[in-house]
Amino acid sequence: MDLDDLYQDLLLDHFKNPRCHGCPNNSDAETELLNPLCGDKITLGVSSDGKTLVDIGFEGRGCSISQASASLMSELCKGKPITEVKHLAQMFRKLMRGEISEQEAAELNDALALAGVKNFAPRIKCAVLGWEALERCLDELAADEA
């Protein structure tokens, strides 16, 4: 499977011109994740004031799905309240499991372009990698506060 099967233009644009590229200089949490099945790598950094995801950025390499997904995720979550960001991560996982309602799906905005990935099990890990890195960063932020 390649981007031909998905929303090619939007995903290709995010792959070639990743949004939020480069980890923030003042990251409060940073995570590096690998997907050995595909050779994808995402390094994600976030900064937060305790309530809001003030800044987010990533670096990485790998397939177009993994990189476009990390870009879409970063764009969607930047500047949003942490509680909402956690919710969005859960919604994306629901999307990949095919369990999402139409109303919930609308919250994912452009990240919905990846909906078709759920039909290609080996690639789900590619699409989720950036979101998984995000969740780890949020865990790290919560641990720092506790």
Point out which residues bind Zn ion (CB under 5 A): 38, 40, 63, 66, 126
Judged by beta carbon, residue 27 or residue 67, the one nearer Zn ion is: 67
Judged by beta carbon, residue 63 or residue 85, the one nearer Zn ion is: 63
* 3-class secondary-structure state, position 59: strand
Judged by beta carbon, residue 38 or residue 54, the one nearer Zn ion is: 38
Q: Work out how close the CB of 75 gets to Zn ion at its nearest, in angstroms, rounded to a whole number.
A: 19
Contact between 105 and 114 under an 8 Å Cβ cutoff? The reply is no
Q: Work out how close the CB of 69 gets to Zn ion at its nearest, in angstroms, rounded to a whole number.
A: 9
Q: Work out how close the CB of 117 gets to Zn ion at its nearest, in angstroms, rounded to a whole number.
A: 10
Dihedrals φ, ψ of 135, to 5°? Answer: -65, -40
Q: Amino acid identity, residue 33?
A: L
User: What CA–CA distance (Å, rounded) separates 112 from 105?
Assistant: 7
Judged by beta carbon, residue 27 or residue 131, the one nearer Zn ion is: 131
Q: Work out how close the CB of 45 gets to Zn ion at its nearest, in angstroms, rounded to a whole number.
A: 21
- What is the number of other CB atoms lying within 10 angstroms of the CB of residue 110? 18
Dihedrals φ, ψ of 140, to 5°? Answer: -65, -40
